Structures are given as C-alpha cells and as structure tokens.
Structure 1
Amino acid sequence: MLDLELRRHKHIKAHEILQCVGLLISRMLCPQKRRFSDHWSTVSVGVVPAGTFGRVMSRNRFAEIMRNIHFTNNAAANADTDRAWIVRSISDTLQKTFKAGYNIPGVLAFDEAMIPSRSRYNPTRQYLKDEPHKWGTKLFLTCCSKTAYCLRLEVYCGKAHHTSSAAKKKAAAESSGPPAVMRNLTALLPPKKEKVFFAVVTGRFYTSIRLALELLTRNVYSVGTILPSRAGFSDLLTEKNRNRPKTITRGTVRMGVAKAVPQLGAMVWWDQKLVHVLATGARRAMLTCERRISGGKGRTTTVPCPSMIRDYQTWMGGVDVHDQLRLQRYSL
C-alpha cells in the first residue's frame, strides 16, 4: 500500500509552490466561512463564483502539497529547543520584509495578538481569555499606531525559551511583559541618534517604570496604562476599589511626577472605573472627551480628560486594527 502511494506521488515543482502561496493570499482576501474546500465548489457560494481555485490547481493536489511542504531542516541543532522551529525561517523572512517595506514611524503600538489554533499538536499553543480567539499561537506585534502596519512580529514560545541571562539584566525576570517590549524595539529601531525620538504605546501588562526609564535612555518616549501593583508605582496613586465612588466626580484626576526624572509622570483618572497611566515626555494638560452615560441609551456627556489619556486612546489602536484586518471573515 505504501509503495502504491509513493508511485502515485508526483514531485512538487517550484511553480506549484508559488501557486499554493497565491491561493492562500486569495483565500485571505476572500475567505470562506464554512471550509476552505468550498473554493473548489462547482456551484456558487454566496458571491464567490464557482471553480475559481480549480482553474489554478486541483483540490487534491493543493492538499497534498500543503501536507508535505516544509521550510526548515529538522536535523538542525535548534530544532529540539525552538518550539517555533517549523515556522522560524518564515517568521525571520517576514521580519526582514516587513521592516524593509515601510519607514519606521515616530509612534508605535505594542501589544499581543493571537493566530487561532486549537490543535493539540501545536507546540506554541497558548490560552488567552481576553482575546477574541482564546486558543492559538501568541504573537508580540509592533505596529504603526496610525496605519496598523505590522513592522515586527515575534512568536511566543513559552517562558523557558525567552528567559536568558541577557534578558534578565536588561529588564524583568519574566519572558513576556516589559522584556518583550525591549527585545522587539531593540531589534526594530535604529541606533540612538541625538535629537531623534520615537514613542511607543503599550497596554497595562507591558508597562512598567523600569521599562519606561530604559526606553527613555534610548530616546524612546512611552505611554500606557499600568497595573498599580507594579514595582515602584506610588501608593498615593493607588486605590483599593477599582470602581469610582459616587462622592468622586467623573473625570477627576490625581497626578504625580518623579522627582529624580521629571519627564516621568503617572496619574489615576476616575472614569466609570479607575485608569492608571504611566508616561514619559507626555503633555500634562487637561482636555475633555465624550463618554457614554450608563443606562443613557447611547447618550454621551463631556468629562475632563488629561492629555495622557487622549494620547493613549489615539495611538493604542494600531495592533487592534491590525487584528481586525488580519482576522476578518469577509471579502474586502
């Protein structure tokens, strides 16, 4: 039986690999909600005409190539220690291509993302309860805050893979969180130059005082929400109750500035819930913003809003917008 299968197998040619990649890109632009094989359907499915993929390659041939295609050498030394080794050559190529195809902007957004996967055979599978797809491969994404263009991605392979003596000296002992920000920005940004500054926006899981100070020494400003339990965060800006008491007006702000580093500032802002923000080089002006009224059927009200909050809300959406584009289910 095995000999029969081997005799039936046709050698894969270079142009067929290019055709497979082209079909995957076409699938991304016009995905099928039910299953991938519907692209070879003999009848129209919704607005997708029949037989579009079949003009390029048969379904069985495509499945055979995708089942056997492999881009890495399993005999390499890193194959046993790198959980993402099977896609390492692809991710390394994407890193170079993404960086070469776009000028690094002044403001970057850093956050995590998920490639959906429930396969038990996926060695990089993680569970993140707050993501739209809770099971999958976790990525660290560095995106342009304005256009959501992905400049760099890093596949998270677990704590043991990223934790090293060098990483511990640079930042915290964790493999993710603030050290992940430092790793990716160090690889992405050019060497420090006088009077050339960048800014990065991070979520609360990645923001820390130590990270902000390290970035500041590299001419990188930062702003992000922060967990009040982070080391060094002032007790004067923390509250036991996350909900805003009725005695405190919505939009109330309490702000602090570091004595040793005046560029470092932190604040707590009372919205419906408490919001803690840490920033370097940010404005400290008071502005206003529109917030929805609870139970107001869509009605809004104007509340005081510090410029740190406005900056965070303006620039943090880069990774979120990239997720929406990357995980979209309908044709563009």
Structure 2
Amino acid sequence: MAKGEKVGMREVSERAGVAISTVSHVLNGTAPISEEVRARVLDAARELGYLARRSARASVNAVNKVLLAVPEDALPDSDVNLVSWTILNALTRDCEARGVRLVPHTLGRDDPVGAVDAAARAAKVDGIIVINDDRSALLDTIGRSGMPAVLINGEDPNMHIDSVTPGNRFAALKAAKLMMDKGHLRIIHLTWTGRKTVERRLDGFLDAFRERGLPLEDAIIVPAAGFEPQHGDEALSTWLAAHPDLGGATALFCAADNLAFGAMRALKRAGYRVPEDISVMGFDGVALGELHSPPLTTVSVPLEQFGRSALDLLEARANSGAMPRAAHRLELGCDIVLRDSVAAVDPKVFK
C-alpha cells in the first residue's frame, strides 16, 4: 500500500481475508468472534497502521481476555485483605464495562516463575495483569514473554513491564511533613519488609526528616513481621516494653492501616491514649479506619482507579504492536484524610 494512502476497514478486511462486518465486530467488541479470526484481524490492523489510529480515538478494544494473576494470600475475603479486595472488585467492574473477560490464576510462592506465562498462553489471553506480586524473577519472565502485561500495586525495578502504583514515596513524605507541622519531631515508623512499595513509604518518611533538617535518629523504625493487625500489635508491644516512655516519640506513622489498627490496640493495652499521648496515622485508606475508635487519620490511596489505569496501559501496549514502547510506570496521587487520631503537640508537654 502506497505511503499516505487512506486505510480503512475495507483494507483491513482484505488483508485479513474476512468480511468488513467481521472487522467491525472485532474492533468494536460487538459480537463473539473466534480467537483465530480475531487475531488475524488485529494483526492486519496493526500492520496497516489502522489499529494505532483508531486507538488514538479510543475506539478500539484490542484486549478482550486477560489473565489475572493474584497471590494466594490476597484472595481470602476478610478485613485483613480490604486493600486487595477493593482493587479486585473495582477491576472486575471496569472489565465488565469494557467487555473484558478475566481468567483467574493463583500465584503460589513455590510455583515456577514461568507458570504465569504458560497459563496465559494456554488460555489464549490478550494480556496479563499481576496484582501485588513484584518478585523480580516473576516480572522478568513475564517481560520476556512479549505479552502485554501490567503490574498493579507493585514496582518492577527492571522496568520490563508496565505498572500502576500509588505515589508511595511522595505520599509518605507528605504525611510525615503534616505530622511535623503539628509539632511531631520524633516519630515512630511501623513497617514491614518484602514489598518494594512499602520500602518507598519508608524512603518518603526519611525524606521528610532530611528535608526539614531533622536528625535521622528521631526517625524511629520499628519492623513488624507482616502487614496484618496482629503483626502491628506484636511489634509495637515488644518495642513499648523496651521503651515505656515511648522513647520520646509523640507520633506513630504506620505503613498500612492494618498495622495501625494493631498498634492502637497495643497502645491502649499499655495505657496510652490516642491522640492525647501519641498521634497515629495509617496508610491505604481502607473503610475500617473511619469506624475505628478514634477514627484513623490515613493516607488515602485511589485503589478503585488501579484497574481502569491498568486496562488503559494494556490497550496501549497491545495496540503498539512491534513499535518500540518503553515500560510505563504510572504513579497515582494520594490524599491525606484527617481524622481524630492525629492532634497537634501540646507545647506545655515540653516546658
């Protein structure tokens, strides 16, 4: 076809060897089409450059079936997994609205890293969405597969696949600075290890001390065994036993709301009042925070927007075909929800 010559559905149908109506159904998702015919039409549309032009006008549905890979510990529907379930429910709604079918796949920690790619090819999906699991070996394998893929709520340090994540570092920086503005200059950070996203929250917490010129020894790091409430309770209880005067801290910033719930239990059991004796802030913005006593101040993460953003990235990746496209890392902004668990420091305390 000559350069600059107009390309339409007729040219795509001729290249793919199908009727124009079939091309229309494939590109608009208006009728069930066999996998083989659908793939042939999309390949022809990519080769002719038609897919990229239609995508720019948001009129192509190039992703109709997606493998959804979720760690097994994120699947139980419980108060502990409110973050994962909020993401999953919103993603399901977004897929239904777009006519995208999800094929579930459970990620076991002992599974070979190639299991996701194998499952995706067996299910003949158009792309892969991974939630929460940012193991480098897993993401590297998916990246090498050449299949469109997006990681939700995680980071790919090697930038092999696209990802959607909260702006963890900047949000934690903003949260810590807010507490400092209220007079809290010695702050405990309750966190856990194993997730790159959580490491960014620690980075942001420390950034606030550096930015304000405060000594890093006043940034007290307390590690927990995990993210569940009992982990927060156990870690802070152990720390309180060794620091009955709170170590001079006036505030506690938790890397997850779940940790904050457990920490507040430990503080109450030890005889401390929130926020009169110590202020507490969480991170995630799950619904239980508002119902807690006192209601939890938290960093609110736009969990319900992750799925929509991930599907947009998958569409863009699928439509790019063989054209070079660097991995995209989309960070979504977070807001602070002020409630009763944070108060300003009483100057009389330090007289």
TM-score using structure 2 length: 0.26
Q: Which has the higher contact order (CA 8 A, sep 6+)?
A: 2
Greater helix content: 2
Greater strand content: 1
